Structure 1
Amino acid sequence: MTVTPAHTLIASSLRSRSMDDPTPFFEGPFDSDEAADAIAELEEGDDIATAMIAVLDEFVRDSEDYAEEGQVEAALAIACLIAARISGIAPDEAAHHWLDRNPFTVSDDLRRLAAVAFNVATRADDNYLREVRAADWPVFLEHLEPYRKALFGEPQEPAAPFVVDFSRPGKHWLQVFWSTTDQSLPHDSAYADVAGHLVQAVNEAPEWLAWWRQAGLQELLVFGELVPGVYSERISRGRTTAEVWIGFGHSPEVSRDSAIQQVADDVRTALSAAGRYLGLAPVPSLPALD
């Protein structure tokens, strides 16, 4: 499916929330457009490690005098992915999802290059990133510390095991975001109306919560694209969430009468795909809508 800018923004903001912090957004090393574009391009090639070397080597050579906008965000994101692959520790949910989808091996040369690039991208002077993040630079560096330790071989405590919490009122385990070509699905469409009611019913059904508990994750995020074409899916498991990016291969233009069946088919398809990927039991029956 096509990953739209709207999808990317939603996913980044959802991943960046703390379970205990209601503030809406902290921009980590993967959340800028430049970082997102760079790591998306890595997935397009056949050899991720070689592509990483090319980006980091060019960045280090070009940044002798100044770390430029665009290059510095891209290089830092890639260096952090390498660090997370080494240690398995990452404070950013985006890193866990990306690494789940993209296996690669970190050689000694790649680790050394990533460490150099990390130092350049976080230096105090002659650095665009330092200039634009001046207000929160100490907080940003603290956030990056697990990545730095991994690249430089410093000991660190692994993250505490994640424990799900479904007790918070109004906190739903299933979130679904629908889009058409380059835009969100209009809320007043028949498809969106039925989908909203069905997703709410699934969230409120005890048998569905029991099914999801098997995953050991807090949330399932479904990003559904409703555009005519070929069906596609991309699924990943993070530390606290799972994501399903799915192109259903049809438009949302349906009547109210046919929307109920179409939405049910699409939601069942997405949840079944997630269940297969995560090794869960077969999905329960969907709640009936009036």
Structure 2
Amino acid sequence: MEIRRGDTDPFDSDEAFDDLHDLEDAEDLVLALFKLMSGLDADAPIYLGDVEGPVAAACLVACRFAEITPDEEWAAEWLKRNPFLADVNLRRHASSVLDIAARPDDNELYDLWQTTEARESWLNELDTYRRALSTAKDAGA
């Protein structure tokens, strides 16, 4: 399965690229992904510069689990270079990150998309990854 991207691709961000590039030398990649995604708090405001890396990391977890190939070249190459097991805890955490990112209140990322005609496309793009992660939860994995 390949996800076709447009302007709404979660990997089409310098911040996401930088955050994930920084994880390449991690001794424990799963722990590093978990820590990056832990930067979002469901009860706190979401600032644009703080959300893009965790969202991309969550989408990469979905890609790994569901064998999705992201259309963004650097993200596909990152997955090839960085094998990791998307265990149930990592998948659940990634799902929570995407739920938080799609939250409409007190969220600069959502506000950014709200001001464009692409908001529905962006939410649909996130939903593709959310569905892949929810399959894991439904399967009892």
Question: For this structure pair, what is the TM-score category when the shorter chain's length is used for normalisation?
Answer: 0.7 to 0.9
Q: CA deviation at 1:143?
A: 2.1
Return the alpha-carbon distance in structure 1 between the equivalents of residues 14 and 43 of structure 2: 24
Q: CA deviation at 1:145?
A: 2.6
How many residue pairs align between the two structures? 131
Contact 1:67 1:128 in 2 (8 A): yes
Higher relative contact order (CA 8 A, sep 6+): 2
Contact 1:38 1:74 in 2 (8 A): yes
| Residue of structure 2 equivalent to 1:140 | 122
| Residue of structure 2 equivalent to 1:127 | 107
Task: Tell me the C-alpha RMSD between the 2 structures.
Answer: 2.1
| Residue of structure 1 equivalent to 2:90 | 110
Contact 2:37 2:94 in 1 (8 A): yes
Read off the aligned partner of 1:118 and give its amino acid letter: L
| TM-score normalised according to structure 2 size | 0.82
- Write 1 or 2 for the structure with the bigger share of strand: 1
Q: CA deviation at 1:64?
A: 1.4
Q: Which runs of 5+ in 2 are unaligned?
A: 137-141
| Residue of structure 1 equivalent to 2:81 | 101
| TM-score normalised according to structure 1 size | 0.42
Greater Rg by CA: 1
Return the alpha-carbon distance in structure 1 between the equivalents of residues 77 and 126 of structure 2: 18
Matched position secondary structure for 1:35: helix
1:42 paired to 2:43: no
Return the alpha-carbon distance in structure 2 between the equivalents of residues 58 and 71 of structure 1: 7
Identity across matched positions, percent: 37
